[in-house]
Amino acid sequence: MKKLLTILVAMSLGVLAVVARLGLAPQAAVAAGSCRGARSPAMADGLALMSGSGIAAADGDAIQVVRGDRVSRIAPPDHGGGVLRHVSFRAGVGTTYVRDRRGGDVVVAETSTGVRRFPVHGEALNPSFSSTGDLVWAQGGGLRIADGGSDVVRRIEGPLRHDVAFSPRFRDDETLVVGIVSPPTGAVAEDEYLSNLWSYDAASARWRQLTHFSGGVDRWSVVRTPFLAPDGSVEFVRIHGRASADRAPSYELWRLQGSTPTRLRSLPEEMYLAGFDGSARLWNLRDGATGSWKIDREEADGSLRQVGCGAVAVDPLDRPDPDRRASIRSAGAEQGTATQAPDVDQILVGDFSSIDAADQTASRIKSATGASATVVDSTQAPAVVRPGVWAIIVPVTSGDPEADLARFRQALPDLADWSWIVSI
């Protein structure tokens, strides 16, 4: 599936901290262990977050901060509910993240001036700081900006009608690079089939398209996780494939130098940029055994070494999105009325381009796990399945969606990259 908020990259940042002492663990201990299960307790450490002094990532209900060879889990300072996601830090400025809640989210920023909370009406995505402390996040088709230390939020309209903005990054203090999802068309009425990078110039209030990837009814192309590289370029991941193909899409690393995009290389698997540690790239990859995200550092020889756990610019796929709900028909549907069912956590496996492929996989799931496996399409689960494809729903039975998902992926490792938790 290519749902923006599922991949976001996703295609996805999300957590923070308070005051006091550190709970530090050697980096080797993280590299040797799983990114879920027996987590160390979350400590309070406001200094690490307000200074942006480490690599920050959403790790369950805490923020994991990696500094050199030390790793700590820090309790968010706002003690809010919902899902922590979209954590972003800027050295010398601070840390920001989203409290994803049903309905309106909250953007939280911690700097040397204290903790600021920005309630929003709707979905907030990917907050980040400029070098001077200005805060930006994506909301709907445009952006919201609060000047450094200010609680006043300015609204910036996006470049397209009915579009969705995501992953805004300050290229400099006046220019932003932003992901823009193309609006639906007559041929492709739903789902994200195409996204590109745009720039916004604050001085002229003008938008300019930077990449020109194309998509359509069968072909799709999306961009994810843009980050400012040490040389001033912007690096990002491009994912593309065919909607009709029962195989994993292609992942590629690209660089945007000025307004010229260049493909650097193919990527061996699903992986998303998580920023830079000095000149070294950081990557978010899935821990196949648990479904959680791990953070790997790319070494000079191209090898990867795990340095921490948690979701940086991607969404925590082992935690259900509070807003992902599906309307179902009640017994009175024949009178044209619909009711909203209570949320139920399920494991979703997909996409499949044919019902036969979905049926065969459902039979495998039943044999391997003993659980029921129901094939659904967009008419039965419109919030999580796009038109023209099929998916499989497996119920969560233990009361712990993350544990059920981990057991499912262990039983069927070839479906690990095709499965996640949804609420329907």
Higher pLDDT among residues 127 and 290, named by residue: 127
Q: Which CATH superfamily is domain 4-309 in?
A: TolB, C-terminal domain (2.120.10.30)
Per-residue model confidence as pLDDT tens digits over 167-180? 999 999 899 999 99
Provide the residue type at 25 as one letter: A
pLDDT per residue as tens digits for the range 84-106 = 889 998 988 989 999 998 878 99
Looking at residue 149, what is its pLDDT?
83
> Over the chain, what is the mean pLDDT?
80
Which tens digit of pLDDT belongs to each residue from 47-72? 667 776 678 899 888 888 888 777 88
Q: What is the mean pLDDT of residues 243-269?
A: 90
Taking only the tens place, the pLDDT of each residue in 347-363 is 999 878 889 899 999 99
State both tokens at 151. Answer: 């609680």
| Whole-number pLDDT of residue 244 | 75
The pTM for the full model equals: 0.74
Shared fold status for 4-309 and 327-423: no
| The 3-state secondary structure of the chain, one letter per residue | CCCHHHHECCECCCCCCCCCCCCEEEHHHHHHCCCCCCCCCCECCHHHHHCCCCEEEEECCEEEEEECCEEEEECCCCCCCCEEEEEEEECCCEEEEEEECCCCCEEEEEECCEEEEEECCCCEEEEEECCCCCEEEEECCEEEEECCCCCCEEEECCCCCCCEEEEEEECCCCEEEEEEECCCCCCCCCCCCEEEEEEEECCCCEEEECCCCCCCCCEEEEEEEEEECCCCCEEEEEEEEECCCCCCCEEEEEEEECCEEEEEEECCCCEEEEEEECCEEEEEEECCCCCCEEEEEECCCCCEEEEEECECCCCCCCCCCCCCCCEEECCCHHHCCEEECCCCEEEEEEEECCHHHHHHHHHHHHHHHCCCCEEECCCCCCCCCCCCCEEEEEECCCCCHHHHHHHHHHHCHHHHHHEEEEEC
Find out whether 346 and 355 touch, Cβ atoms under 8 Å.
no
pLDDT at 25: 31
Question: Which numeric CATH code is attached to 327-423?
Answer: 3.30.70.1070
Of the candidates 179, 184, 221, the residue with the CA atom closest to the CA atom of residue 200: 179
Confidence tier at 81 by pLDDT (50, 70, 90)? confident
Task: Compute the average pLDDT of residues 170-198.
Answer: 86
- Residue 171: the pLDDT is 94
When pLDDT is cut at 50, 70 and 90, the band that residue 12 belongs to is very low
| Statement: residue 36 has pLDDT above 70 | no
Mean pLDDT across the stretch 201-219? 92
pLDDT for position 49: 74
User: Could you state, in order of their start, the residue ranges of all structural domains in the chain?
Assistant: 4-309, 327-423
